[in-house]
Structure 1
Amino acid sequence: MGLSKTERKLRIRRRIRKTSTGTAQKPRLAVFRSNSEIYAQLIDDVAGTTLVAASSRDKELAKTKGSKTEVANLVGKTIAEKAKEAGIESVAFDRGGNLYHGRVKSLAEGAREAGLKF
């Protein structure tokens, strides 16, 4: 029998994490997607700290109306703006086992539009 959806996602997540690590100069942009929300963090894996975080539950973004894909785009723009304030220009993208499609793709495109380099 084949893998379940969650087992497949965990296997992909582990494979991605084997190769991508974040540093203070080039942190890892980790994306977590739930059924209703989307979260993004810039993580320094060497120090084990979160440098910047943004989500669709932030006060300014929770008020916005629109589809989940549009909100994900705004989260991407928000994290890119916060990263620029922190002096971060390039990141390693970690899609967290999700397919690069839909909300994850929209978040990445929003971050790129705001000037973050992958």
Structure 2
Amino acid sequence: MKTNRKDQTQRRHRRLRRKLSGTASRPRLAVFRSNNHIYAQLIDDVQQHTLVAASSLDKELRPTLASGANCDASVSVGTLIAERAKAKGIEQVVFDRGGNLYHGRIKSLAEAARAAGLQF
């Protein structure tokens, strides 16, 4: 059976989600990467509620980004999600890379969020 890249990513994500779960005290930092943009949200899986969200489409980031699909955009989104999380009193998170490899844009977002004060 042949699988394409999207199927492989979805399989990895399902495998990860068996073990990863977010709570109100330690939410899940879920990252979604499309071809044109990157999105991040902090999710409480117990309440099934999104606590904080940020993306390369946000009004405050949009004018400063040349493209939503590069590492610079990922760094901006990572910093923004960390700032919004700190404003809500969230310090620790569980990182969910969404089945993507920890490389490139995903890695940039994670390192920027760590640098801005999130612990994971």
Question: Normalised by the size of structure 1, how large is the TM-score?
Answer: 0.96
Look up the match of 1:51: 51
Instruction: Find the residue that maps to 1:50 and give its secondary structure.
Output: strand
Percent sequence identity is 61
Contact 1:73 1:110 in 2 (8 A): yes
Partner Cα distance (2:63, 2:99) in 1: 28
Partner Cα distance (1:96, 1:65) in 2: 23
Instruction: Find the residue that maps to 1:7 and give its secondary structure.
Output: helix
Partner Cα distance (1:66, 1:90) in 2: 31
Instruction: Find the residue that maps to 1:35 and give its secondary structure.
Output: coil
* Structure 1 residue runs of 4 or more that deviate by more than 4 Å after TM superposition: none
Look up the match of 1:20: 20
Look up the match of 2:80: 78
Partner Cα distance (1:114, 1:9) in 2: 28
Contact 1:64 1:71 in 2 (8 A): no
Question: Normalised by the size of structure 2, how large is the TM-score?
Answer: 0.94
Q: How far off its partner does 1:66 sit?
A: 4.3
Gaps of 5+ in 2: none
What's the Cα RMSD here? Answer: 1.0
Instruction: Find the residue that maps to 2:9 and give its secondary structure.
Output: helix
Q: How far off its partner does 1:65 sit?
A: 3.2
Partner Cα distance (1:104, 1:5) in 2: 16
Gaps of 5+ in 1: none
